[in-house]
Chain A
Amino acid sequence: MSDEHIVSSFDEDMSRLRDLFLEMGRIVSSQIQAATRALRKEDRMLAKQVIANDKQLNRLESELNDLAIKILALRQPFAGDLRQVVATLKSAGHFERMGDLVRNSAQRTNTITKAEAETGSIETLVQMSETVQVMTNSILTAYERSDSEMAEEVRMQDETVDRLHNSLFREMLTYMMEDPRNISGCMHVMFMAKNIERMGDTVADIAKELIYMATGEWPEGSRTKKDKTSRIVIEPEADA
């Protein structure tokens, strides 16, 4: 739909809406990158920076909300335009939420780096975080190109994050059972992992919105959820 709208200020509003959304996405991506680096390098200053940057996302989201509401009220868009406004509005909310999760992760960086001594590598956390960042970058490209296939691939990638989360969960349980002094550190790692796992889910939610935006259809069925941690139960051994 490249044709110009009869009312050119309508096109301007729509293009401003897209720009705001892409800007939010790029900030989320760089926040994830910084938070990951802060974690790996035990860089507390960087972690603080990530926490401070989150305000930008909140500001952009509220600007985007106002613009989307203005477009809906004054322009009454239909068809592809309508889908774009609604999908963008909802996805911006998802980005804002991702921002909160990154900030929360950054807040834990300090405690995690201390816990690492007892729990071994944070490599899995880093890997999860990097995967989510890749997904975020792809979703921005998918949005710019209105590419539903690319969005579908992003939904699939979330399975990788879920699998890493599962294996980390099992690993942490083992540590905790080995020595109760590990529990505190492991719990922090698990909370952090859960944050990142949720970020992955949230990008997958955006992917769903984009598929609707591009095709007018919701993706078929719900994606099979590979995060199984909610069903893992470990019994202490009877003769312990």
Chain B
Amino acid sequence: MNTDAPVSDSGAKPIMTARNVDVFYGKKQAIDNVSLDIPENQITALIGPSGCGKSTFLRCFNRMNDTIQICRVKGDIKFAGQDIYDPKVDVVALRSRIGMVFQKANPFPKSIFDNVAYGPRIHSLSESKDHLEDIVITSLKRAGLYDEVSDRLDEPGTSLSGGQQQRLCIARAIAVDPQIILMDEPCSALDPIATAIIEELMDSMKEKYTIVIVTHSMQQAARVSQQTAFFHLGELVESGDTKQIFTNPEKERTQNYISGRIG
């Protein structure tokens, strides 16, 4: 078994490492022996044709696959050196360190304020009402949404536009002060302007956070990420510096996929 991992070329130190990861849904193997480092304060894009296992692999990073009955994860995944699949790990706490934003914005049926305050409340992160308000406002600002909603924090989150709802979900993830934010096709339901705003936001967020994004848009991967990993049929075909992957990939399969020659 191969234990040598393809270490990222970027030189940045990894905050997460995956080694020899296999994922099964029942008998069906969805991820086959994948090793990948996630460099800190960078954006890593996972690309590949639909069904190649991008979302499955992403969900390994905060044990979201635990919620799927038939799903089994094997291999070694470490966050800041700690094995996240250790039975002693508090999964709820883990998911506050490693937040997630989904394809379809899913605000709770609550006010804008309560959407963002939800996480800090259940994790008892705030010392007072003022402090909670502080966290909510800072998070909305970091998600680039505050200016647009500052005068209507008590309106329902669902009253916002699609792009705003997605930024609300980003604010909600940020509110519990995570290290890593996982995003699964966060812009696929958004128009180009709303997409551009989120991409711009991601770029500014990487100073403070590490982002892993699944995207079906290669242009988006090329625009936002520093590292790109290409998946095909459950395997990691190639990963490395984004510029390298999109100008001169090593593997023919990558070359063919990104230049539109396999589906």
Residues of chain A touching chain B, judged by Cβ–Cβ distance below 8 Å, are 1, 3-7, 10, 76-83, 215-217
B263 at the interface (CB under 8 A from A): yes
The interface residues of chain B lying within 8 Å CB-to-CB of A7 are 260
Q: Is the interface of B mostly helix, strand, loop or mixed?
A: helix
Min CB distance B254 to A, Å, is 8
Min CB distance B19 to A, Å, is 28
B209-253 near A? 1/0 per residue, CB < 8 Å: 000000000110010000000000000000000000011110010
B261 adjacent to A76 (CB under 8 Å) = no
Assembly CA distance A160 to B247 (angstroms): 34
**How many interface contacts (CB-CB < 8 Å) are there between A and B?**
45
A6 adjacent to B261 (CB under 8 Å) = yes
The interface residues of chain B lying within 8 Å CB-to-CB of A215 are 248
A79 adjacent to B247 (CB under 8 Å) = yes
A5 adjacent to B261 (CB under 8 Å) = yes
Min CB distance B45 to A, Å, is 13
A82 adjacent to B247 (CB under 8 Å) = yes
For A10, the closest partner residue in chain B by CB is B260
The interface residues of chain B lying within 8 Å CB-to-CB of A5 are 259-261
Assembly CA distance A144 to B203 (angstroms): 41
B247 adjacent to A4 (CB under 8 Å) = no
B58-96 near A? 1/0 per residue, CB < 8 Å: 000000000000000000000000000000000000000
For A83, the closest partner residue in chain B by CB is B247
B248 adjacent to A79 (CB under 8 Å) = yes
The interface residues of chain A lying within 8 Å CB-to-CB of B263 are 6
Min CB distance B14 to A, Å, is 26
A82 adjacent to B246 (CB under 8 Å) = yes
Q: Is the interface of A mostly helix, strand, loop or mixed?
A: loop
The interface residues of chain B lying within 8 Å CB-to-CB of A3 are 256, 261-262
The interface residues of chain B lying within 8 Å CB-to-CB of A79 are 246-249, 254-255, 258-259
B247 adjacent to A81 (CB under 8 Å) = no
The interface residues of chain A lying within 8 Å CB-to-CB of B254 are 79
The interface centre, meaning the residue of B247, B255, B259 with most chain A CB atoms within 10 A of its CB, is B259
For B250, the closest partner residue in chain A by CB is A216
6 interchain residue pairs of minimum CB distance: A216-B248, A78-B258, A3-B261, A81-B259, A78-B246, A79-B255
Q: What is the total number of residues of chain B having a CB less than 8 Å from a CB of chain A?
A: 17
The interface residues of chain A lying within 8 Å CB-to-CB of B261 are 1, 3-6
Min CB distance B78 to A, Å, is 32
Min CB distance A86 to B, Å, is 9
Question: Which of B222, B247, B252, B256 makes the CB contact (< 8 A) with A216?
Answer: B247
Assembly CA distance A97 to B263 (angstroms): 41
B259 adjacent to A78 (CB under 8 Å) = yes
For B244, the closest partner residue in chain A by CB is A216
Question: Which of B222, B248, B252, B262 makes the CB contact (< 8 A) with A83?
Answer: B248
Assembly CA distance A175 to B219 (angstroms): 62
Assembly CA distance A10 to B260 (angstroms): 10
Min CB distance B218 to A, Å, is 7
The interface residues of chain A lying within 8 Å CB-to-CB of B262 are 3
Assembly CA distance A216 to B263 (angstroms): 24
The interface residues of chain A lying within 8 Å CB-to-CB of B218 are 78
B12-55 near A? 1/0 per residue, CB < 8 Å: 00000000000000000000000000000000000000000000
Min CB distance B195 to A, Å, is 15
B260 adjacent to A80 (CB under 8 Å) = no
Assembly CA distance A64 to B258 (angstroms): 24
Assembly CA distance A199 to B219 (angstroms): 38
For A78, the closest partner residue in chain B by CB is B258
Assembly CA distance A198 to B139 (angstroms): 60
A-B contact pairs, 5 of them (CB 8 A): A3-B261, A3-B262, A79-B258, A82-B259, A215-B248
A78 adjacent to B248 (CB under 8 Å) = no
A6 adjacent to B260 (CB under 8 Å) = yes
Assembly CA distance A76 to B220 (angstroms): 12
Assembly CA distance A117 to B2 (angstroms): 77
Assembly CA distance A174 to B254 (angstroms): 60
Min CB distance A146 to B, Å, is 13
